[in-house]
Structure 1
Amino acid sequence: MEVLALVALAVGVFAVPGSVLAAYLWWAAFAVPLVLVDLAVHRLPDRLTLPAAGGVVLLLLVPAVFSGEFDRWWRAALAGAAVALFFAATTVLLGRRGFGLGDAKLALSCAALLGWFGWAAVLAGLLAGLLASALVSIALLVAGRVRWTSHLPFGPFLVAGTLLALILVGPRS
């Protein structure tokens, strides 16, 4: 847990602009325990995912008000809602083969945070998470540690993709 928390803190210090640091720190405070819970029990509890999402959206409103960049806030809110709905739709359409509803609720905060920086950041975060998930899944299959029918938690990959995208967009945004 300490390593994950240190990585999250380092990303905040070196990659997140000061104007949105409060929103990022709020997200990270929930993301770290969510990763650990998802790895342990393959669940992302509402008591963590929902406050994370609500807090990110509300805390992003502060820099929008002070900078007058309401377009960034609207994009963040729209990105969060759109990605969460996409994840939820896979749950409804694909059942257990899709993402879980917990993933959809976590995606709301991740995509909202990335949405502040633009659609490219949202896409980069999602693609990084999906690619990491695919590579780890293939490695585990080849090593015989899982089967095709195994279920792996996606939350850790979604958080990792978000962190990577934040590093890529850097403090210049």
Structure 2
Amino acid sequence: MDLLLILGAALWGGAVGLLVPRPAHRFSVAPDEEWQTQCPEGHPIPHWVGWARCRQCGGRTYGPSTPLVALATALVCAALAAATGTRPELGVWLLIAPLGVLLAVVDFTVQRLPDVLTLSLAGASLVLLAGAAAAPEHAGDWLTALYGALALGAGYFVLFLINPNGMGFGDVKLALGLGAVLGWYGWGALLLGTFAGFLFGGLYGLGLVVIRKAGRKTSIPFGPFLITGAFVGLLIGAYAA
């Protein structure tokens, strides 16, 4: 049963991951620009949902690599299924995981975390976890998820006030959703996931400095590392629950 669950989660992640590159391309614009409505060759993109492939370009793809994004989403969903098992919160993780992948791709591409995505992650996480809390055999606590969202959001907001160049306000909004999913499994998972995010981001920045691709004051996309750290904390929290 566990193997079937993991395979099913991987198939779900792979299928949904195929649809991530199109919105990733559309969201990957500067903060003062409208959402992208054209492929790189200037042909219109009529909808938000669908493969990132332009018929007028002879089926040429655009945006981030579709196979790579689909594979990454499949692996994320499979890992969450392996750690969570058949508990009801797994449905929540599988629904919001593609949104986390989308946020990471957009931020890594243009260093932007769109409000429509970060606030959707926060709202969806709390609403869906409320449903999971009402189901039998769940392993988390909804109130702690709420407190986790508020605590991590407040903590990141303080960091933003101290150093706006190091912590963007988009990261503050992202923290609401990440705090909710980590807080579901308790304060230990929240602290672990947060520490892992800062660790991954710090190692990435240090690596860029070492290979002389960046200086000490170079801005880096922090969201992907916060999301990755939360993913690690969530896996450990789910496994230990």
8 Å contact 1:16–1:166 — kept in the other structure?
Answer: no
CA distance in 2, matches of 1:114, 1:8: 16
**1:20 counterpart (89, 93, 98):** 89
8 Å contact 1:31–1:159 — kept in the other structure?
Answer: yes
**1:123 counterpart (191, 199, 202):** 191
**Stretch of structure 1 that moved more, 31-40 or 85-94:** 85-94
- The match for 2:157 is 88
Task: Give the helix-richer structure, 1 or 2.
Answer: 1
**1:159 counterpart (227, 234, 239):** 227
Q: Verify: 1:114 aligned to 2:185, yes or no.
A: no
SS of the counterpart of 1:96? coil
**CA-based RMSD:** 1.8
- The match for 2:213 is 145
Q: Which consecutive residues of structure 2, in runs of 5 or more, have no partner in the other structure?
A: 1-68
8 Å contact 1:23–1:113 — kept in the other structure?
Answer: no
1:145 Cα deviation (Å)?
0.7
Q: Verify: 1:39 aligned to 2:134, yes or no.
A: no
CA distance in 1, matches of 2:73, 2:136: 30
What CA deviation, in whole Å up to 9, does each residue of 1:121-169 have, x standing for no partner?
A: 0000001111111111111101101111101111111111111112222
- The match for 2:75 is 7
- The match for 1:64 is 133
CA distance in 2, matches of 1:138, 1:68: 43
Report which structure shows greater RCO (CA 8 Å, sep ≥6). Answer: 1
1:170 Cα deviation (Å)?
3.3
CA distance in 2, matches of 1:27, 1:111: 14
Select the structure of larger CA radius of gyration: 2
1:67 Cα deviation (Å)?
4.3
Q: 1:68 to 1:11 in 2, by over 3 A?
A: closer
1:114 Cα deviation (Å)?
1.0
Q: Scaled by the length of structure 1, what TM-score is found? A: 0.91
Q: Which consecutive residues of structure 1, in runs of 5 or more, have no partner in the other structure?
A: none
- The match for 1:75 is 144
CA distance in 1, matches of 2:77, 2:93: 10
CA distance in 1, matches of 2:210, 2:163: 25
CA distance in 1, matches of 2:92, 2:170: 20
CA distance in 2, matches of 1:38, 1:144: 22
Aligned residues between the structures? 171
8 Å contact 1:140–1:146 — kept in the other structure?
Answer: yes
8 Å contact 1:14–1:170 — kept in the other structure?
Answer: no
8 Å contact 1:11–1:166 — kept in the other structure?
Answer: no
- The match for 2:60 is none
